[in-house]
Amino acid sequence: MIFISRRLAPASPLRQWAASRGETIHAQSLLTFAAVPFDPPTDAHWWFFYSPRAVQFAGTVPSDVRTAAIGSSTAEKLYATIQRVDLCGNGNPEQVAEDFLAVAHGDRVFFPRARQSRLSIQTALINRIEVLDAVCYDNRPVPPAAPILANTYIFTSPLNVAAYLDHHPLPEGARVLAMGPSTGGELARRGVGSVWPAVAGEVGLVGLLD
C-alpha cells in the first residue's frame, strides 16, 4: 500500500497510476485548515502563492497584479480559480526564488500564506523585493490515532511529516518520498532518507514510483 499525506482528486495522476498497477493508495491529509481574516494590500505588483490552500483562502486576486506559484499543484489551483498564472516554479524554493527574482526584482510582492509557513521565498529574497505579508489561513497537525501501515510513504509538506513522525515511527525498510526539497529536508532532519522529484507535483512522484 502507498500512503500520501494529502487528499487526491478522482482523476489525479497518482490515483490513475495506482489503478493501472493494481496498487492500493491511502490518501489522507494530516492537517486541518481554517481561514484567518486579513486585509490584502492594494499596491502589490505580484501575489505569490506557496500552496493551493493559499489560493483557496486568499480571496479575490486583483486583476491588475501578476501572479506566481511555487509549483505545479499551486499553479493548477491558481489557474482553475482565476485562469491566469504569470510564473510557475518547480517547487524547489532556492531555484524558484532565483527565477522569481529575475522578473520581480524591486517589486512589491504579497504573500498570502499559512500561519505555519517557512517563509522560504521572502527569506531568500530579503532586501531584493518588497515583502507584503499576511496570514490568510491556519494549518494545524491532526496526527492519525494509529500508525498507517504502508510499503511507501509520500509526505507532501514538512508539517505533514511532523504530524506523523511526532507520533508514529515508520516501518523498517519502508520507502519514503517527499513532494519537494523542503519536505525532504524535514525528513532528513529526523533521520529519514527520502527522494523527491525534480519538479514538485504528482506527475513527478509517479515518475519516481515507476
pLDDT-based confidence at residue 129 (cuts at 50, 70, 90): very high
**Confidence check: pLDDT of 201 > 90:** no
132 and 40 in one domain? Answer: yes
74 and 101 in one domain? Answer: yes
Of 91, 106, 139, the last residue of a domain is: 139
Other beta carbons within 10 Å of 13: 16
Question: Which CATH number covers residue 157?
Answer: 3.40.50.10090
Question: What pTM, to 2 d.p., does this model score?
Answer: 0.84
**70 contacts 53 by C-beta, under 8 angstroms:** no
Contacting residues for 108 by C-beta, under 8 A, at least 6 apart: 41, 43, 44, 45, 46, 129, 130, 132
50 and 135 in one domain? Answer: yes
104 and 11 in one domain? Answer: no
Q: Structural domain tally of the chain?
A: 2
52 and 13 in one domain? Answer: no
50 and 11 in one domain? Answer: no
The grid coordinates of residue 96 equal 524558484
> What percentage of the chain reaches a pLDDT higher than 70?
100
147 and 135 in one domain? Answer: no
Sheet holding 152-155, edge to edge: 25-27, 2-4, 152-155, 175-178
Per-residue buried b or exposed e for 107-132, using 16+ beta carbons within 10 Å of the residue's own CB? bebbbbbbebbbebbbebbeeebbbb
147 and 134 in one domain? Answer: no
Of 139, 156, 175, the last residue of a domain is: 139
- Mean pLDDT across the stretch 7-11? 90
Element (H, E) at 208: helix 202-209
- Mean pLDDT across the stretch 10-30? 95
Of 99, 116, 139, the last residue of a domain is: 139
Please give the full DSSP string across 101-154, using - where no structure is assigned: HHHHTT-EEEEEEETT---HHHHHTBTTBEEEEEEEEEEEE---SSPPP-SEEE
Query: pLDDT (tens digit, 9 = 90+) per residue, 26-70?
Result: 999 999 999 999 999 999 999 999 999 999 999 999 999 999 999
CA 141 to chain centre: 15
Domain that holds residue 156: 2-30+142-209
123 and 38 in one domain? Answer: yes
135 and 178 in one domain? Answer: no
134 and 68 in one domain? Answer: yes
**pLDDT value of position 73:** 87
65 and 12 in one domain? Answer: no
Query: pLDDT (tens digit, 9 = 90+) per residue, 64-122?
Result: 999 999 998 899 999 999 999 999 999 899 999 999 999 999 999 999 999 989 899 99
Contacting residues for 132 by C-beta, under 8 A, at least 6 apart: 41, 44, 108, 109, 110, 111
